[in-house]
């Protein structure tokens, strides 16, 4: 607007006002349009300037995901007869360094085996792109700019270095396979064999003489080891131990000699030189790995030793506590002394199991799949094969705390009767009165009824009882007196409580009497029963009372009594036959009737 007002002053004052108004309007429009265009250009410029950094940041943020990360290619060695010559670090087209190195190694091996090959034919040919190492018309390898860049050297120089290494390796190989080298290898082999034979002969003579001298020193130089009057190790065992050690040393020497001889001979010839190093590696590599593994495992070993020490002393403390409970030095209400030993065994097992669980991660190879697989296999095998054993262990624990019996008790388990001589978590052993040891699994014991004759014998006494049958003609009071007197005359029968008699049945032909007597020695109950039966027979025979067991019936006419002769009176006579008249007989005839006895 200021420009439009100053224009008339510059153009002069002679123009009319109308003319000035006509010429000023188009210029005003042009100025407005120019100003609008300038503003738009400025706005676009500012917007672009503001958006450019943001776009750059976006591109920079996305560039790590988009940018390709070069994958490192492992280098490979060019070899001749297993000896490395130089590395190949780059690939050519699709050929990786390993494939290039293998191809070059094969070409070199074929070339050195060619009888027409000469080292003078080996040269380097430089081209625009590569430097080729050739022999006559055969291109052994091509050195590219990528190879030179990887080594940090000019391409022609790198190619000449590779060619020099190839030439040196071929010259060394020719020397190794020369006739002179082979003759020296044969000579060295002969000398090594002679040394081996001489060493073996020396060992064969030396060790038998040394062993013979050791046997001759028995009793003179080699004597038994004694601590006061106790012989810890006698001289014969000492001689046997020394002999075993010497034989082991001889075996190790022989193995060591052959182990040194074989690789040494193989190293004298170029065809087997690589095998010699492999044989040494077969022994040295495992030993080296074992040494490093042992060194790296030392912290775990110390941790295991600490676990073992803690478990050991915990078991010792537990053993002391339970032994004192068994001796009744320590008394725990409701805990019986006979529970001490099995409780200690269970506690010891739990302590060892806990120690094994804690020490398991520190065992060598515990994290390997093989170790885990073997552990799972053994666990499944133990689970499937120990079902009955586990059942017996559980039954043994239950029987222990049930207090069904203890060692020395006279028991009857199912059909087995005897004294308990052993009781553990798996089986119970019973010795019968015939000295027959019977082993019964605890699961069977738990499933059977157990009769214990000793559990109440000391406090209440065990009642021994036997039954006899006496005829109705004998007074029952007399029978009671005879049975009680026979019981009191028997050894191992207690005076108090006194024996007593029970009449258990009134049968058709006799009365059943049961004598009951107390004893505190159930372990000899069989002998006590035998003596009681003898006394009963003596008492009844002396009293003249017949024992009607087994069933016995008789017609007394003409029959002798059942009492033995020693108990009969001196004037005893057998009854005579009795003749009676039978009514209804014709002619008054009489019939003699003979009495007959019948045993049932």
Q: Which neighbouring-strand residues pair with 145?
A: none
- Note the pLDDT tens digit of each residue in 7-63: 333 333 333 334 333 344 444 455 445 555 555 555 445 444 444 444 444 444 444
Show the tokens assigned to 56.
Answer: 């750059």
- Note the pLDDT tens digit of each residue in 294-315: 888 888 888 899 999 999 999 9
pLDDT at 499: 95
Q: Which neighbouring-strand residues pair with 598?
A: 553
CB distance 321 to 340 below 8 Å: no
CA distances from 518 to 180, 419, 475, 503 (A): 111, 19, 25, 18
Alpha carbon distance, N-terminus to C-terminus of the chain = 164
CB proximity list for 143: less than 8 A, separation 6 or greater? 130, 131, 132, 133, 155, 158, 159, 162
Reduced to 3 states, what is the DSSP secondary structure of residue 158?
helix
pLDDT at 487: 95
Distance (Å, whole) CA 340 – CA 253: 56
CB distance 431 to 418 below 8 Å: yes
pLDDT at 94: 80
Domain 462-549, CATH: 3.30.70.100
Name the region of 581 (left: φ>0; alpha: ψ -120 to 50; beta: rest): beta
CB distance 166 to 122 below 8 Å: yes
**DSSP string spanning 185-230?**
HHHHHHHHHHHHHHHHHHHHHHHHHHHHHHHHTBTTTB--EEETTE
Determine the longest span between alpha carbons in the chain, in angstroms.
219
Domain 389-452, CATH: 2.30.30.60
Count CB-CB contacts under 10 A for residue 400: 22
pLDDT < 70 positions in the chain: 1-72, 228, 276, 549-560, 576-600
pLDDT at 421: 94
Question: What does the mean pLDDT of the chain come to?
Answer: 80
DSSP 474: S
pLDDT at 34: 53
Cα 258 from chain centre: 37
**DSSP string spanning 248-308?**
HHHHHHHHHHHHHHHHHHHTTSTTTHHHHHHHHHHHHHHHHHHHHHHHHTHHHHHHHHHHH
CB proximity list for 49: less than 8 A, separation 6 or greater? none
Name residue, tokens 């940018």: 67
Distance (Å, whole) CA 461 – CA 454: 9
Residue 471, H or E segment = strand 462-471
Distance (Å, whole) CA 256 – CA 275: 17
**DSSP string spanning 79-112?**
EETTEEEEEE-S-BTTB-HHHHHHHHHHHHHHHH
Q: Which neighbouring-strand residues pair with 366?
A: none
CA distances from 39 to 42, 355, 460 (A): 5, 87, 127
- For β-strands 416-423 and 410-413, DSSP reports them as antiparallel
Phi and psi, residue 258, nearest 5°: -65, -35
Count CB-CB contacts under 10 A for residue 487: 27
Distance (Å, whole) CA 399 – CA 403: 6
Reduced to 3 states, what is the DSSP secondary structure of residue 429?
strand
Q: Which long-range contacts (CB under 8 A, 24 or more apart) does 303-309 make?
A: 303/359, 303/362, 304/359, 304/362, 304/363, 307/355, 307/358, 307/359, 307/362, 308/355, 308/359
Domain ranges of the chain: 2-66, 76-177, 180-296, 299-385, 389-452, 462-549, 553-600
Show the tokens assigned to 460.
Answer: 């209440």
Distance (Å, whole) CA 481 – CA 498: 12
Q: Which residues of 194-220 are buried (b: 16+ CB within 10 A; e: fewer)?
A: eebeeeeeeeeeebeeebeebeeebee
Q: Give CA angle at 268 (264, 270), nearest 5°.
A: 125
């Amino acid at each position: 607007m200021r420009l439009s007002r100053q224009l008339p002053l510059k153009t002069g004052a002679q123009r009319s006002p109308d003319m000035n108004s006509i010429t000023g309007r188009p210029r005003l429009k042009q100025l407005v349009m120019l100003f609008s265009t300038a503003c738009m250009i400025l706005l676009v410029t500012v917007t672009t300037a503001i958006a450019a950094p943001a776009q750059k940041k976006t591109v920079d943020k996305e560039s790590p995901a988009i940018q390709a990360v070069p994958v490192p290619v492992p280098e490979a060695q060019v070899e001749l007869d297993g000896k490395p010559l130089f590395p190949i670090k780059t690939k050519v087209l699709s050929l990786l360094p390993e494939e290039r190195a293998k191809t070059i190694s094969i070409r070199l091996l074929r070339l050195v085996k060619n009888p027409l090959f000469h080292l003078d034919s080996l040269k380097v040919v430089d081209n625009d792109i590569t430097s080729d190492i050739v022999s006559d018309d055969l291109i052994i390898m091509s050195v590219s700019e990528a190879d030179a860049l990887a080594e940090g050297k000019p391409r022609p120089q790198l190619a000449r270095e590779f060619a020099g290494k190839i030439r040196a390796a071929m010259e060394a190989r020719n020397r190794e396979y020369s006739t002179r080298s082979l003759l020296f290898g044969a000579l060295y082999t002969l000398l090594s064999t002679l040394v081996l034979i001489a060493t073996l002969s020396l060992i064969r003579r030396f060790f038998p003489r040394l062993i013979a001298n050791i046997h001759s020193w028995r009793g003179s130089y080699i004597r038994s080891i004694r601590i006061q009057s106790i012989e810890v190790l006698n001289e014969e065992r000492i001689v046997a131990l020394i002999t075993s050690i010497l034989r082991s040393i001889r075996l190790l020497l022989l193995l060591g000699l052959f182990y040194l001889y074989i690789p040494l001979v193989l190293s004298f010839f170029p065809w087997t030189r690589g095998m010699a190093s492999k044989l040494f590696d077969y022994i040295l590599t495992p030993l080296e790995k074992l040494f490093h593994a042992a060194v790296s495992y030392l912290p775990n070993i110390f941790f295991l030793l600490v676990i073992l020490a803690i478990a050991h002393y915990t078991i010792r403390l537990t053993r002391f506590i339970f032994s004192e409970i068994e001796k009744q030095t320590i008394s725990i209400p409701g805990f019986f002394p006979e529970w001490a030993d099995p409780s200690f065994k269970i506690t010891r097992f739990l302590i060892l199991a806990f120690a094994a669980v804690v020490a398991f991660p520190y065992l060598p190879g515990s994290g390997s799949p093989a170790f885990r697989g073997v552990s799972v296999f053994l666990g499944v095998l133990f689970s499937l094969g120990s079902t009955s054993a586990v059942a017996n262990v559980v039954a043994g624990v239950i029987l222990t705390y049930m207090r069904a019996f203890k060692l020395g008790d006279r028991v009857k388990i199912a059909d087995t009767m005897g004294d308990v001589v052993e009781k553990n978590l798996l089986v119970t052993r019973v010795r019968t009165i015939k000295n027959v040891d019977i082993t019964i699994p605890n699961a069977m014991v738990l499933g059977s009824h157990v009769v214990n004759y000793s559990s109440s014998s000391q406090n209440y006494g065990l009642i021994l009882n036997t039954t006899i049958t006496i005829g109705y003609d004998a007074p029952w009071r007399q029978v009671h007196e005879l049975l009680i007197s026979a019981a009191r005359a028997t050894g191992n029968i207690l005076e108090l409580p006194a024996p007593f008699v029970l009449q258990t049945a009134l049968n058709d032909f006799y009365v059943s009497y049961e004598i009951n007597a107390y004893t505190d020695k159930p372990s000899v109950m069989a002998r006590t029963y035998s003596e009681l039966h003898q006394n009963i027979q003596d008492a009844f025979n002396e009293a003249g009372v017949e024992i009607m067991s087994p069933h016995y019936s008789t017609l007394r006419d003409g029959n002798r009594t059942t009492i033995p002769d020693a108990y009969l009176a001196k004037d005893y006579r057998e009854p005579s036959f009795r003749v009676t008249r039978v009514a209804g007989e014709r002619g008054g005839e009489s019939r003699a009737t003979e009495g007959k006895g019948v045993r049932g």
